């Protein structure tokens, strides 16, 4: 186990095997399932477990590092099986251990694993569990990212176990603390993690941030990714901005194409925006880029331009999927432009507009292309880019 600070140790695992998180989202750098051990002078508590595929590793750590005393408590901040999958084995291995959770935690754990009633201790908001020289205080933070989610604070160490909040994709490369590793991959992976996994629940993340704003923090210990210590301000800022849907400077262009005509519009838009001084432009061909990267960039940057051909009198399917992802995540605060194309009957632009209307987004301009781009259309593209650039 790796020591984080006095009394608190990391006993999580790295998953460099799984291709898709939730069977949906690629893991180019892997992912960690973070579990922590709090060794008080009287009692020991485990904070969350790991994915069931890695239970053997967790068990080995716990048997080796609890000085033969075992574990008194297992605090479940989040029931999702990437963190609770190992729970039945751990509970069986330590028969005296009590599981700490709120009412919803307990209901879910019974449903997933059939755990007996006498193994649980139910806690409520603000309750404290003494472990001797340190204690655990529970802060209920629903919907970050499931209804039962909560955080656990160790006031004596100014350390907060946050569940999925402040998490990111990326297995840990040797260390655990942010001060001990190169952080460059984790920040980008934080945008992708937040926007894809937690993105729908921005207002709940804001409620959790408000609730914890008065708490003195020196360590943020999430269920995924590094323990934050040196970069607390930056990490809190990213989660705060994303959960308020506050964008960064830049433009994301998402287009679908079959034969390259909408590509020509996307490229011409990007070129004109560049001439206007826009420097941060991300362009995605929706048939090639992974959805998780498109969602991440669309969340992150202020400008969003979407274009698609008409397909079977509707939207080109990869763009339909992208727009559904935007609607699901209740995306807000965007400068939007749309373009559609068709050969003999127009439908895609109308469908795109139906999505933006439902999302309460008012495009600053639209454009429709019939068959291919000619000089007149190119002029319209430039005008649309001019309007868009001045609206950013």
Q: Is the C-alpha dihedral spanning 208, 210, 215, 216 positive or negative? A: positive
Look up tokens 């590092």; give the residue. 65
**Which positions from 120 through 149 interact with ligand FEO, judged by CB under 6 A?**
145
What is the number of residues in the chain? 392
Q: What is the DSSP string of 243-288?
A: HTT-PEEEEEEEE--SSSHHHHHHHHHHHHHHHTT---EEEEETTT
78 touches ligand FEO by CB under 6 A: yes
Measuring CA to CA, how many Å separate 82 from each of 73, 264, 299, 320?
Answer: 19, 43, 25, 30
**Which positions from 154 through 213 interact with ligand FEO, judged by CB under 6 A?**
164
Measuring CA to CA, how many Å separate 111 from each of 72, 105, 107, 137, 184?
Answer: 23, 10, 6, 26, 39
**Which positions from 265 through 324 interact with ligand FEO, judged by CB under 6 A?**
none
Q: Which stretch binds ligand FEO (CB under 6 A): 79-87, 107-115, 135-143, 239-247?
A: 79-87
C-alpha span between 158 and 20 (Å, rounded): 34
Nearest distance, CB of residue 80 and ligand FEO, angstroms: 4
Q: Choose between 43 and 78: whose C-beta lies nearer to ligand FEO.
A: 78
Q: Which stretch binds ligand FEO (CB under 6 A): 59-67, 77-85, 108-116, 382-390?
A: 77-85
Nearest distance, CB of residue 304 and ligand FEO, angstroms: 26
Q: Choose between 61 and 78: whose C-beta lies nearer to ligand FEO.
A: 78
Which one, of 375, 384, 301, lies nearest residue 349 by Cα? 384
Q: Choose between 165 and 315: whose C-beta lies nearer to ligand FEO.
A: 165
C-alpha span between 339 and 357 (Å, rounded): 15
Which of 15, 48, 72, 82 is in the footprint of ligand FEO by CB under 6 A?
82
Q: How many CB atoms lie within 10 A of CB 210?
A: 9
Nearest distance, CB of residue 199 and ligand FEO, angstroms: 12
What is the SS3 assignment for 331-370? CCCCEEEEEEEECCCCCHHHHHHHHHHHHCCCCCEEEEEE
Nearest distance, CB of residue 222 and ligand FEO, angstroms: 9
Q: Which stretch binds ligand FEO (CB under 6 A): 5-13, 76-84, 106-114, 123-131?
A: 76-84
**Which positions from 213 through 242 interact with ligand FEO, judged by CB under 6 A?**
223-224
Nearest distance, CB of residue 317 and ligand FEO, angstroms: 28
Which residues make up the interface to ligand FEO (CB under 6 A)? 78, 80, 82-83, 145, 164, 223-224
């Amino acid at each position: 186990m790796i020591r984080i600070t006095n009394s608190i140790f990391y006993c999580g695992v790295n998953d460099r095997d799984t291709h898709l998180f939730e069977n949906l989202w690629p893991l180019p750098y892997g992912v960690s399932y973070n579990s922590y051990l709090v060794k008080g002078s009287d009692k020991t508590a485990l904070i969350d477990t790991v994915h069931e595929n890695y239970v053997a590793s967790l068990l080995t750590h716990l048997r080796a590092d609890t000085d033969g005393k075992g574990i008194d408590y297992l605090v479940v901040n989040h029931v999702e099986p990437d963190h609770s999958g190992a729970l039945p084995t751990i509970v069986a291995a330590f028969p005296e251990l009590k599981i700490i959770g709120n009412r919803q935690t307990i209901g879910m754990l019974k449903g997933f694993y059939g755990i007996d009633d006498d193994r649980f201790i139910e806690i409520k908001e603000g309750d404290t569990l003494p472990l001797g020289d340190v204690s655990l205080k529970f802060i209920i933070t629903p919907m970050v990212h499931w209804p039962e989610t909560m955080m656990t604070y160790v006031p004596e160490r100014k350390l907060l176990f946050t569940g999925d909040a402040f998490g990111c994709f990326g297995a840990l490369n040797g260390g655990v603390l942010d001060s001990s590793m190169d952080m460059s991959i984790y920040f980008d992976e934080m945008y992708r993690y937040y926007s894809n996994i937690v993105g729908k629940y921005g207002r709940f993340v804001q409620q959790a941030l408000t609730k914890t704003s008065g708490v003195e923090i020196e360590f943020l210990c999430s269920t995924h990714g590094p323990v934050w210590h040196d970069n607390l301000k930056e990490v809190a800022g990213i989660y705060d901005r994303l959960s308020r849907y506050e964008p960064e400077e830049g433009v994301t262009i998402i287009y679908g194409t079959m034969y390259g005509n909408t590509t020509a519009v996307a490229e011409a838009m990007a070129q004109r925006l560049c001439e206007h001084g826009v420097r941060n432009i991300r362009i995605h061909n929706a048939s090639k880029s992974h959805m998780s990267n498109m969602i991440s960039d669309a969340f992150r940057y202020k400008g969003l331009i979407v274009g698609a051909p008409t397909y079977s009198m509707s939207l080109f399917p990869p763009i339909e999927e992208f727009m559904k992802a935007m609607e699901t995540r209740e995306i807000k605060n965007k400068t939007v432009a749309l373009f559609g194309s068709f050969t003999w009957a127009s439908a895609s632009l109308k469908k795109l507009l139906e999505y933006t209307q439902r999302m309460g987004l008012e495009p600053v301009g639209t454009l429709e292309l019939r068959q291919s781009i000619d000089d007149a259309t190119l002029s319209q593209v430039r005008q649309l880019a001019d309007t868009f650039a001045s609206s950013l």
